[in-house]
Amino acid sequence: MNKTRKILGVMLLLTGLILVSIPLYYEWQHGREVRALEEALSLISDYEQVEGTSFTTDELNAVLELEIPSIELKQKVLSETTEENLKLALTQLKENQHPGEGNFAIAGHRGYRGNRHFSRLPDVTIGDEVFLHTKEETFVYKVTDISIIEPTDVDVLDDRDGKHEITMITCTRSGKQRVAVRGELVETNGQKV
């Protein structure tokens, strides 16, 4: 009986170590991929594809940066929403969208550790500033609406007549609904809109 308890104890201990190490491995892997992306962004040259990443130079040139000071968020925004891109960064939801025009939509995973992706997006409050940086310009938005929506409520992404907005979307903690944060464009490169 004592030997059986020891074997069971060792098996439970090993199982626990494996379960703890899996998320740590994924975190390490994610960190490697993000560092490769950041290195590629800093080394953009005339090469068709930057070594160590699956991104072409054109794709890297299209990367934006989203900054929300109130939640200490500063994340890259990739131009296409794919499962691979969502693992690395935030992504643009609509094709051929341009900052400062219509409703610029960004999606991101909620993240389960630290300040990755949109883990703290639900902490944003009405009136917070959101900065969307391109290589040449900075677009400043003020948060005007925060809502919990169903995954099927895609009309939140639609352009509204005469409005220049940003909409940021992530999952709720349960994953069953979405947090949608909308802001209106108030400034471009220091010029009030």
Active-site hit among 30, 117, 133, 171: 171
For 70, counting Cβ atoms within 10 Å of its Cβ (0-12 exposed, 13-18 middle, 19+ buried), the class is: middle
Active-site hit among 109, 117, 133, 164: 109
Residue 95 CA from chain centroid, whole number = 17
> Is 30 tagged catalytic?
no
State how far the Cα of 94 lies from the Cα of 114, in Å rounded to an integer.
Answer: 27
> Is 164 tagged catalytic?
no
Residue 161 CA from chain centroid, whole number = 27
CB 158 within 8 A of CB 103: yes
Bridge partner list, 130: 141
| Residue positions annotated with a catalytic role | 109, 171
